[in-house]
Amino acid sequence: MADAPSGNADNKAADAFLAGGSLRHAPGPYFGSYGGRWMPESLIAALDELEETFEKAKDDPDFRAQIADLNKNYSGRPSLLTEAKRFSEHAGGVRVFLKREDLNHTGSHKINNVLGQALLAKRMGKTRVIAETGAGQHGVASATAAALMGLECVVYMGAEDCRRQALNVARMELLGATVIPVTSGSQTLKDAINDALRDWVANVHNTHYLLGTAAGAHPFPAMVRYFHEVIGEEARAQILEQAGRLPDAVCACIGGGSNAIGIFHGFLDDPSVKIYGFEAGGDGVDTGRHAATITLGKPGVLHGARSYLMQDDDGQTIESHSISAGLDYPGVGPEHSYLADIGRVNYEPITDSEAMEAFRLLCRTEGIIPAIESSHALAGAIKVGQRLAAEDAAAARDKIVIVNLSGRGDKDVATAAEWFNLLDKDSAESEIGKEGEQL
């Protein structure tokens, strides 16, 4: 037992950063005291195999060329960096730039991760991938990658989400995937992850678990971040080219935190860049109906990692609430917990109402319909811009804020129409739009 590595890793990385070192490329399994492998022994061999395959692939020029080719010729990368001039006027007059992950194939950042992991699954000789999904975005992306690479695909989705997102279920089935409604526990995203893990334990010989966010057991947090780092690399190069300097702030929404860690990574070592993660505040953090994990959670272990967690005094997971299904998760990736503790990233809640106002604003000022998830980042950018303007209105006009527009809002049209009372009460769409259903 003396040779067991510590589960309570030290804060060397934090010290290094504070002393001018680097926070980039943190390899895991620990991020400060977060991360690790709180998993059944049955799955440890599979995690070891995945880690080894990933580490080799990262250093393999062929693998990197495959990823680069898929990013360019399949996903449509690099995604644009668009200056949102009319939107900026509502954000204290700061210059707002949008990193357009909404323009990727399948409509969000999710494609970056699924292509990478599907390639790894092929390298490991796995013929089947499984995935969890909330609203269906990661499920659709996984089904897409599986179709492209000829893999069998099974997606676990809460039974209630299946009903509400019937068209996303149809999308996955059109792409050849099997969707299994999850009826256990609270029948939400966390229970879909539980059922995916149960499937993985039983079928690990031929199955890769294509986890959709930068959470879970090592190597998932570091690996998912790696596949999304392209967002931050591109954004940093683009802003230097388009504005001639680094931004003053970078904003992203946080559910599990994969789009955020992807864009944050490009700027972690630029001390002049303030970084903001915006969690789902739901009805408000005072109401108990929210998904503001870092803001109000306490460290615990769930789904394989130690991280901030929404839990009661008994350590039972608390159900989260958000108008955005993609942020409706009671956990968060361990690297975010670490970045919060050392103060490198500021995490704040955004309520449903604030997010929906930002949603409408972007539609009307820029002609871009954002995902409701991404609207949390837009609402956060408005706050950041207004704070800068309050400090010095003239100086604010030279400030630059990048927002990761992680996905497009086509999937959210029914929810938004219901929210803004745009539907005739007797229309079929009105029925569909209730309780966040999607067209």
Partner 1 sequence: MSSAGIDGSAQTAGKTQMTSKSAAAIDKARAEGRAALVGYLPAGYPTVEESIAAGIALAENGADLIEIGIPYSDPVMDGQVIQAATTQALANGFSVRQVFDVVAGITAKTDAAVLVMTYWNPVVRMGVDEFSRRLAEAGGAGLITPDLIPDEADEWMAASDKYGLDRVFLVAPSSTAERMQRTVDASRGFVYAVSIMGVTGARSSVSTAARNVVAAAHDAGAERVCVGLGVSNAEQVREIAAYAEGVIVGTALVSALGNGGVDAVGSLTRELSSGLAREEA
Distance in Å, CB of 30 to partner 1, minimum: 10
Residue whose CB is less far from partner 1, 35 or 349: 35
Residue closer to partner 1 (CB basis): 46 or 292: 46
194 binds partner 1 (CB under 8 A): yes
CA distance 18 to 256: 26
Minimum CB separation of residue 435 from partner 1 in Å reads 23
CB of 205 to partner 1, least distance (A): 7
In the region spanning residues 272 to 311, those forming contacts with partner 1, defined by CB under 8 A, are 298-303, 309, 311
Kindly state the tokens that stand for 20. Answer: 């001018």
CA distance 372 to 137: 12
CB 78 within 8 A of CB 104: no
In the complex with partner 1, the residue whose CB is nearer, 302 or 389, is 302
Select from 64-72, 312-320, 337-345, 356-364 the region that touches partner 1 (CB under 8 A): 312-320
Is residue 171 exposed (0-12), middle (13-18) or buried (19+ Cβ within 10 Å)? buried
C-beta closer to partner 1: residue 132 or 354: 132
Whether 110 sits among the annotated catalytic residues: the reply is yes
β-bridge partners, 31: 34
**CB burial string 52-77: b at 16+ within 10 A, e below:** ebbeebeeeeebeebbeebbeeebeb
Considering 51, 132, 279, 348, which one is annotated as catalytic? 132
- Cα-based distances in Å from 11 to 20, 60, 267: 14, 31, 20
The correct pick among 22, 184, 287, 427 for binding partner 1 (CB under 8 A) is 184
For 277, list phi and psi in degrees, rounded to 5: -110, 130
Return the structure tokens found at 293. 């994990």
DSSP secondary structure of 322-363: -S-GGG--SB--HHHHHHHHTTSEEEEEEEHHHHHHHHHHHH
* Residue number with CB closer to partner 1 (309 or 384): 309
Please report how close the Cβ of residue 423 comes to partner 1 at its closest, in angstroms: 36
Least gap, CB of 111 to partner 1 (angstroms) = 27
Residues 6+ apart with CB under 8 A from 154: 128, 129, 130, 131, 177, 178, 179, 180, 199
Catalytic residue among 88, 108, 324, 406: 406
DSSP state letter for 287:
S
Binding window for partner 1 (CB under 8 A); candidates: 3-11, 118-126, 339-347, 372-380 = 3-11
Site map for partner 1, 37-66, x if CB under 8 A? xxxxxxxxxx-x------------------
Q: Which structure tokens are listed for 187?
A: 């029948």
Closest separation between CB of residue 8 and partner 1, Å? Answer: 7
Residue 132 falls in the annotated catalytic set: yes
Residues 201-230 touching partner 1, rule: CB under 8 A, are 201-205
If we measure between CA atoms, which residue out of 144, 130, 126 comes closest to residue 195?
A: 130
From the candidates 88, 99, 108, 110, which is the catalytic residue? 110
- What ranges in 133-219 are assigned the alpha helix state H? 137-149, 159-164, 166-174, 189-203
Q: CB 3 → partner 1: shortest distance, Å?
A: 9
Residue 22 falls in which region: left (phi positive, over 0), alpha (psi -120 to 50) or beta: beta
Binding mask 17-36 for partner 1 (x = CB under 8 A): -------------------x
Is 182 a binder of partner 1 (CB under 8 A)? no
Binding site for partner 1 (CB under 8 A): 1, 4-8, 36-46, 48, 184-186, 190-191, 194, 197-198, 201-205, 298-303, 309, 311, 313-317
Catalytically active residues are 110, 132, 406
